[in-house]
A and B are shown apart, each in its own frame.
Chain A
Amino acid sequence: MNNPVIDTLVDNLTPTKPLENKSLYSFYVVVLGLSTLAVLATFGLRFDYQAAIETGSMFWKPAIFLFVSLGGLFAMSSLSRPQGQMPKLTFAFIGIGLAILGWQTINQYPDISLSHISQSFGMSSANACLVVTSVGGILLTLAFWKFWLKKAASSRPVLLGAVSGFTSANIAAAAYALHCNMDMVLYVVGFYGVVILAMTLLGAVLGKKVLNW
């Protein structure tokens, strides 16, 4: 017995290229590279980069966001499929990022003071940090949407949206951290953290709206 739905679907079949994780990973490398170039071309390296290389600040801050964004990337690739789950690699990479943050917290413990972060409010560099990571995060989320997310079929669209916002904000933060010379842990957690949290929430809201299928 003929089934009209099956007949229609079969008639409309065309060869389909499956989503490949390596395409997403390549795209990640490209957008990370372009974001870094954009930050360096617009703002340049932090003015105290020589001292920062010696103290390690040049590396640990971008590294936190880099590792965390890698965790987000693996989550995005897995959650984009109907049967996708949060992969262990995600927790591993986010764990590495948090471990670096913890290590810096211990290092800076004698000097940690809330006055440092309160003094940062209103500083042009702090405002630039908020604006660049926010705008960069939004642009990167749109780029991921165009390249990958619109083809996805996640059973957890809200989570996938949140993860894409989270990953994008972390890529933007990793790039901007090359210019940013504010190395206090409280500053990093406060200023970058607020943007990452906001982008995650924005991604979750967008995910609910646009990633349902």
Chain B
Amino acid sequence: MRTYNSNKWDEWMRATLNGDKNAYRLLLTELNGWLTAYYRKRVAEPHIEDLVQETMMALHAKMQTFDPEQAFGPWISAIAKYRMIDHFRKTGRHTHIELPDDLSAHQTDDAENAFHDVGIMLDQIPEEQAKVIRMMKLEELSVADVAEKTGHSPSSVKVMVHRGMKKMQKLAKKNKA
């Protein structure tokens, strides 16, 4: 049952204050459904269960603030609203984003595509520059290792990499345009 049942709830809450466990169980059981419906209209599905439980625990902890001469509805509605605002306050700075299960597959695809594009651009720059860039950037060799393998001085390797990279950047911009 998800409709607000004024008279019964007022009566059960008054009995609850007197320690009547049966009335309390009936009240919480009906509230469980009502609060779920209340939050379903206002918050995202994953937060509903937590908020319903938090609201019931707040009711339990603060039941002394219920005035038996007043109606139960506005009281529990105010608690539900307060818990919801508090929940937004706590989680507001963090947006929950569902990541796709096959994220790693996408990443692999992207990496492969980038590798392919770099290969095409390397074919369009001078052979020696492409060779040292392959060694340093793709095979991750150190400047000293590349210098040893190619016979160039370390400073010359650095210059070649710099020039080659600039040419590749220009090619990338040209292709993008």
Contact = CB atoms under 8 A, between A and B. Distances in A.
Nearest to A21: B67
Q: Is the interface of A mostly helix, strand, loop or mixed?
A: loop
Interface in B62-91: 62-68, 74-75, 77-79, 81-82, 86
Interface stretch (A6-14, A43-51, A118-126): A6-14
Contact of A6 (B56, B65, B81, B82): B56
A62 to B, nearest CB: 32
A160 to B, nearest CB: 12
A178 to B, nearest CB: 35
A205 interface: no
Interface stretch (A25-33, A66-74, A137-145, A148-156): A148-156
Contact of B56 (A9, A82, A153): A9
A46 B77 CA distance: 51
Q: Is the interface of B mostly helix, strand, loop or mixed?
A: helix
B67 A18 contact: yes
B86 to A, nearest CB: 7
Contacts of A115: none
B175 interface: no
B57 A5 contact: yes
A82 B75 contact: yes
Interface string B78-114: 1101100010000000000000000000000000000
Interface residues of B, number: 31
Contact of A153 (B21, B24, B32, B65): B65
B147 interface: no
A16 B58 contact: no
Nearest to B17: A16
Contacts of B82: 82, 155
B13 to A, nearest CB: 10
A15 interface: yes
A212 B28 contact: no
A3 interface: yes
B60 A155 contact: no
B56 to A, nearest CB: 6
Nearest to A84: B78
A59 B58 CA distance: 45
A15 B21 CA distance: 10
Given A5-B57, A155-B81, A13 B64 contact: no
Contacts of B29: 3, 6
Contact of A9 (B60, B62, B75, B86): B60
Contact of A13 (B24, B53, B57, B65): B24
B61 to A, nearest CB: 7
Given A6-B25, A9-B28, A82-B75, A213 B68 contact: no
Nearest to B71: A83
B19 to A, nearest CB: 4
Given A14-B19, A15-B18, A155 B67 contact: no
Interface of B: 16-19, 21, 24-25, 28-29, 32, 53, 56-58, 60-68, 74-75, 77-79, 81-82, 86
22 contacts: A3-B32, A5-B57, A6-B28, A9-B57, A10-B28, A12-B60, A13-B24, A15-B17, A16-B16, A16-B17, A17-B17, A18-B64, A18-B65, A19-B64, A81-B65, A81-B78, A82-B65, A82-B75, A82-B79, A83-B74, A151-B64, A213-B62
Given A6-B32, A81-B65, A213-B62, 7 more contacts: A3-B29, A5-B56, A6-B56, A16-B19, A18-B65, A81-B66, A81-B75
